[in-house]
Chain A
């Protein structure tokens, strides 16, 4: 019917060329928005540097974090200051231990505490929230009432109480942090599940005979991921904050382990003696971690939850 003119060939090519208008998935869209966010990208870069520092840093350390430099110990103020020659890049602490190695150790532990605490909260909170929201009815109200009651108790006091009663250890600390973190997560997930569970695609899945558990796992959970990721990313710095607060009081992580909060407390205790570096190095890294994590969380929220802008 049509001749084989150049024009028709071109038209045919354009019609069959699907690369011209390529659809973007939700995640691609989010990634583009996140990469465009300058503050978030700078924060990712800074956080990356800090993580790199905790990984590579130990290879440059001259002193281990447990060794005491007996030469310097007598005169920390005069001889223990940061210098390349003595190998104490960040100086020494009050007992003559190398602060560089201690800061690396503390940063690693603080980051781990944040990640594990948030991960515990994420897993427990998501399971609980989906179960409550999806099952609904009386189960839902009982489960959420329980969350409300727990939420009414001041978190730091409960963590301190748990740490004292169950003994101070890493395990207890993670359990205690997870125990207070999952509550808000459960609430958010439950709210989101409530709006999702009456949508058509869930109904379609149910009509097709998919089991309830599979619906929760395959259909509800993926749609929750955006909200969950955003909240979890904001939870990490919060966990680090709480842990530091408790360690500052001397009730958190105990020697030989240390965390940034503990180092800041030690530095703050000795700053009257002119050894200011003991406060400044951990403080700077701490503030950098917290601020960049909040910016990353904000960026993720803008990227994954566009209606919130």
Chain B
């Protein structure tokens, strides 16, 4: 187990480094730098600006500085667009918001999805089963950017119960719709996976044995069936967390929650490469870490797996 964890960690670190290097070269060779404007700057001014951002250094030096600052100081450098803020400020402002409703959606999707899937499998072919299956199908066609408009239409325009956007320090009326919009489709997928996995487990021999020796249904399900059921679900949770992170880009735009997504799309439109890369690298690194954790959780959950 320890050797396996170390081996996985050894793969994860170069992955993140490679991501940073690849992003750096993408930025370097992108046409139209952040300082190209309609009125060309005098060469002296341009030289000064480039010196300020370290762009006059040789390429390897720039790459080294960029890498060094990220790894050692966790510093993504200055923003090209906002003169008084650097990328860290922007991330520090937006990331907590994105993380708040991202984790909430993740929690809601997992808890509700798993409960629904288990209930559907236990009461196979009942109304709750059909509901779970229906939700699983709808989930595929209702990603966050479809759910968002539908929710606002229902709860803000027709019923007038919830505010249509904003953050307001994360009060709960402002949280409900972003969380639901983000969680629904993954909730459906999780419910579907849990249901089919539970059905398979309930038909297996060791469950029949447990039943045959007279254990009550409750014990059979909680003590015997639950753990093997959750194995495929756990391996799906890593990707879900990543989807929730990228989905937050949409929520920030649509519900104006002020999270990192707003900064991301804004920088994409105004070619503020420093912010764009900073956020991509942050999310990429998070993805790698989450995948690592998922793999470790999987190994811990299923002692049969030998690596």
Chain A contacts to B: CB under 8 angstroms:
145, 148-149, 152-158, 160-167, 237, 241, 244-245, 248-251, 261, 264-265, 267-268, 271-272, 276, 279, 283, 286-287, 290-291, 294
Q: Choose one: B27, B145, B287; the contact of A153 (CB below 8 Å).
A: B287
> Chain A residues near B19 (CB, 8 Å)?
149, 152-153
Q: Choose one: A156, A251, A286; the contact of B246 (CB below 8 Å).
A: A156
- Contacting chain A: which of B49-57, B146-154, B214-222? B146-154
Knowing A164-B268, A268-B148, the reply to whether A154 touches B246 (Cβ < 8 A) is yes
Interface of A is mostly: helix
Chain B contacts to A: CB under 8 angstroms:
11, 14-15, 18-19, 23, 26-27, 29-31, 137, 140-143, 145-146, 148-149, 152-153, 157, 242, 245-246, 249-250, 253-254, 264-265, 268-269, 271, 276-277, 279-280, 283-284, 287-288, 291
Q: Is A251's CB under 8 angstroms from B268's CB?
A: yes
Q: A148-B11, A265-B145, A294-B140 are in contact. List 4 more A-B contacts (CB 8 A).
A: A152-B15, A153-B19, A165-B27, A261-B145
**Complex-state Cα separation, A279 to B136, whole angstroms:** 24
In the complex, the number of residue pairs spanning A and B with C-beta atoms less than 8 Å apart equals 106
> Chain B residues near A287 (CB, 8 Å)?
141-142, 146
Q: Is A152's CB under 8 angstroms from B141's CB?
A: no
> Chain B residues near A264 (CB, 8 Å)?
145-146, 149
Nearest opposing residue in chain A for B142, CB measure: A287
Q: Is B265's CB under 8 angstroms from A152's CB?
A: no
> Chain B residues near A161 (CB, 8 Å)?
23, 26, 268, 276-277, 280
Q: Is A244's CB under 8 angstroms from B283's CB?
A: no
> Chain A residues near B141 (CB, 8 Å)?
286-287, 290-291, 294
**Complex-state Cα separation, A247 to B19, whole angstroms:** 25
**Complex-state Cα separation, A296 to B77, whole angstroms:** 48
**Complex-state Cα separation, A283 to B276, whole angstroms:** 30
Q: Choose one: B26, B140, B271, B287; the contact of A152 (CB below 8 Å).
A: B287
Q: Is A272's CB under 8 angstroms from B284's CB?
A: no
Q: Is B15's CB under 8 angstroms from A160's CB?
A: no
> Chain A residues near B242 (CB, 8 Å)?
154
> Chain B residues near A148 (CB, 8 Å)?
11, 15
Q: Is B26's CB under 8 angstroms from A294's CB?
A: no
Q: Is A154's CB under 8 angstroms from B283's CB?
A: yes
| Pairs across A and B, CB under 8 Å, 30 listed | A148-B15, A149-B14, A149-B18, A149-B19, A152-B287, A154-B284, A155-B246, A157-B284, A160-B264, A160-B268, A161-B277, A162-B26, A164-B271, A164-B276, A165-B26, A167-B31, A241-B143, A245-B250, A248-B145, A248-B250, A251-B268, A264-B145, A265-B145, A271-B157, A272-B157, A279-B149, A286-B146, A287-B141, A287-B146, A294-B140
**Complex-state Cα separation, A93 to B249, whole angstroms:** 26
B154 to chain A, nearest CB (A): 11
Nearest opposing residue in chain B for A39, CB measure: B137
Interface of B is mostly: helix
Knowing A149-B18, A251-B268, the reply to whether A245 touches B287 (Cβ < 8 A) is no
Q: Choose one: A152, A155, A245; the contact of B145 (CB below 8 Å).
A: A245
Which 9 A-B pairs have CB atoms at the shortest separation, nearest pair first? A268-B149, A165-B30, A290-B141, A248-B145, A291-B141, A156-B246, A287-B141, A154-B246, A164-B268
Q: Is A149's CB under 8 angstroms from B15's CB?
A: yes
Knowing A153-B284, A164-B276, the reply to whether A249 touches B265 (Cβ < 8 A) is yes
> Chain B residues near A154 (CB, 8 Å)?
242, 245-246, 280, 283-284, 287
Residue from A248, A271, A283 whose CB has the most chain B CB atoms within 10 Å: A248
Q: Is B157's CB under 8 angstroms from A250's CB?
A: no
Q: Choose one: A145, A158, A164, A271; the contact of B153 (CB below 8 Å).
A: A271
Q: Choose one: B31, B149, B246, B271; the contact of A267 (CB below 8 Å).
A: B149
Knowing A153-B284, A157-B284, A164-B276, the reply to whether A294 touches B137 (Cβ < 8 A) is yes
Q: Is B280's CB under 8 angstroms from A157's CB?
A: yes
Q: Is B246's CB under 8 angstroms from A157's CB?
A: yes
Q: Choose one: A155, A165, A271; the contact of B149 (CB below 8 Å).
A: A271
Nearest opposing residue in chain A for B27, CB measure: A165
**Complex-state Cα separation, A165 to B141, whole angstroms:** 30
B259 to chain A, nearest CB (A): 14
